[in-house]
Amino acid sequence: MASLKGRNALVTGAAVGLGNAYARALAKAGANVAVCDVRAEIDELPAALRGMGVQSAGWRGDVSNPADVRRIVDGAIAALGSIDLLVSNAGIWGGSVADDDLDKSLADYERIVGTNLKGEYLFGRALIPHMLAHGRGGDIVNISTDHVHTCGTPFHVCPKLDSCPWKDAPRPTAGGTIMDLYDAGKWGLHGLTFAWAKALRPHGIRVNAICMGATDSNMLRGFHNFNPSPEEVATWMKAEDSAQVLIDLLMEGPGGRTGENMNLCVGRPTRLEPALPPVYILAEDIHVKA
């Protein structure tokens, strides 16, 4: 099992929610942590992380803006010396349906796909050359959604809940109907995950996705007109438990899994399950450098 002590991580969208829990868990495990977010609360996080005994630096910036991505990545490398762990977590939710108006759809596309797919694409493009150049391997973890594995429509907005045979999660593999663009962006993320896993495995860089189910966060509580019952809230996962899954994944080290979508789903224990046999990447696709 690999130690994270002294490793250098970059976590996007770390001001609140899951990203904040990932950054704190990494610092607790001894990693130095660079962070970024559009929210002002990000300004306070580096001091809190330094108080845990590690190096830290932070930036305000928009992951969908290439100039911000360049500034954050260059700043993180300058502040910590190098980066070998990228947690691409920044994400937003937005409702969109198949017959939406075209003008609304274009704005939704820029906003939702801009953050949830383009942002992770830009961070990968900005960091991968650096990771290849330093030659120490590392990890990229993309934060996705359990919609890749389940229907994904939140119970409180599902118009067909009474007749849903899967209202006691876990639900079946598919996308939902009220967030086609969110789902499309996250599915696109898996294209990057699998392609990067194949391309980077020879260099000791693993690329995986964690597909989150309902987790108590600003995002989940921010759904419009959402007034969840205490019973429903009690079913949600805790960001700290999901962060432990990230730590356990990273501690697998260079010999661990790559190219896997790990599903953390309400109704199941929040833990790192044993690695699956390669599903999306065949063993022969992974060419290890001679």
Residues of this chain that bind ligand NAD (CB under 6 A): 13, 15-19, 37-39, 62-64, 89-92, 115, 119, 143, 145, 212, 214-215, 217-220
Shorter beta-carbon distance to ligand NAD: residue 16 or 158: 16
Shorter beta-carbon distance to ligand NAD: residue 204 or 215: 215
CA separation for the pair 228, 240 (Å, rounded): 21
CA separation for the pair 174, 165 (Å, rounded): 14
Shorter beta-carbon distance to ligand NAD: residue 146 or 204: 146
Cα→Cα distances 48→23, 40, 58, 204, Å:
10, 15, 11, 31
Q: How far is the CB of 273 from ligand NAD (least distance, A)?
A: 17
Which H or E run contains 139?
A: strand 138-145
With vertex at residue 58, the alpha carbon angle to CA 53 and CA 59, rounded to the nearest 5 degrees, is 180
Q: How far is the CB of 262 from ligand NAD (least distance, A)?
A: 12
Shorter beta-carbon distance to ligand NAD: residue 89 or 193: 89
Q: How far is the CB of 15 from ligand NAD (least distance, A)?
A: 4
Q: How far is the CB of 127 from ligand NAD (least distance, A)?
A: 15
Q: How far is the CB of 165 from ligand NAD (least distance, A)?
A: 22
CA separation for the pair 20, 174 (Å, rounded): 29
Q: How far is the CB of 35 from ligand NAD (least distance, A)?
A: 10
Using only the alpha carbons of the chain, give its radius of gyration.
Answer: 18
For the chain, the straight-line distance linking the first and the last C-alpha, in angstroms and rounded, comes to 24
Q: Quick check: 211 and 261 in contact, CB under 8 A? A: yes
Shorter beta-carbon distance to ligand NAD: residue 83 or 220: 220
Shorter beta-carbon distance to ligand NAD: residue 145 or 153: 145
Give every strand in the sheet of 138-145, ordered side by side.
56-60, 32-37, 8-12, 85-88, 138-145, 205-212, 261-264
